Amino acid sequence: MATFTSVFLSGSSNGKPIASTQIVGPGVTVHTAATAAQHDEVYIWAVNNSSHDRLLTVEFGSTIVANNVTFTVPSTGQGAYAVIPGWRISASTNVITAFAASSSSVGLMLLAGYVNRIST
């Protein structure tokens, strides 16, 4: 029977939001999957504290475009925007990184979330 354990994103310090400090890939590390024997069900929300809508790119395992997902995150006052709603990853080499594509938004895009770690 599978066991579910809720954990912080590995790139977070005790659950605090992660600031996107990169403007090109590879982005800031958001989460690294645990082991091949486990699956991480990842939930990530983005908050854009800029006065303009911004592009956020989330990279899965590499900077290859085929592994990237890009979102437009609404500007300040729009609240948290769900960007990764429970996608599963596995293996310790599978790293999720992210960057906001504007130098004027460095540090203004925040990422928060959690992981349901599934062990079989």
Query: pLDDT value at position 105?
Result: 65
Please tell me the total count of domains within the chain. Answer: 1
Q: Which residue range is the domain that position 23 belongs to?
A: 3-119
What is the DSSP code string of the chain?
--EEEEEE-TTSSTTPPEE---SSSS-EEEEE---TTEEEEEEEEEEE-SSS-EEEEEEESSS-GGGEEEEEEP-TTS--EEEEEEEEEESTT-EEEEEES-GGGTTTEEEEEEEEEEE-
Sole residue written with tokens 């996107």: 20
Over residues 59-101, the pLDDT tens digits come to 998 777 778 999 999 988 888 999 999 999 988 668 999 999 8
Q: Which domain CATH number covers 8?
A: 2.60.120
Over residues 51-60, the pLDDT tens digits come to 889 999 999 9
Query: pLDDT value at position 76?
Result: 83
Query: pLDDT value at position 108?
Result: 87
Query: pLDDT value at position 65?
Result: 75
Q: What is the pTM of this model?
A: 0.90
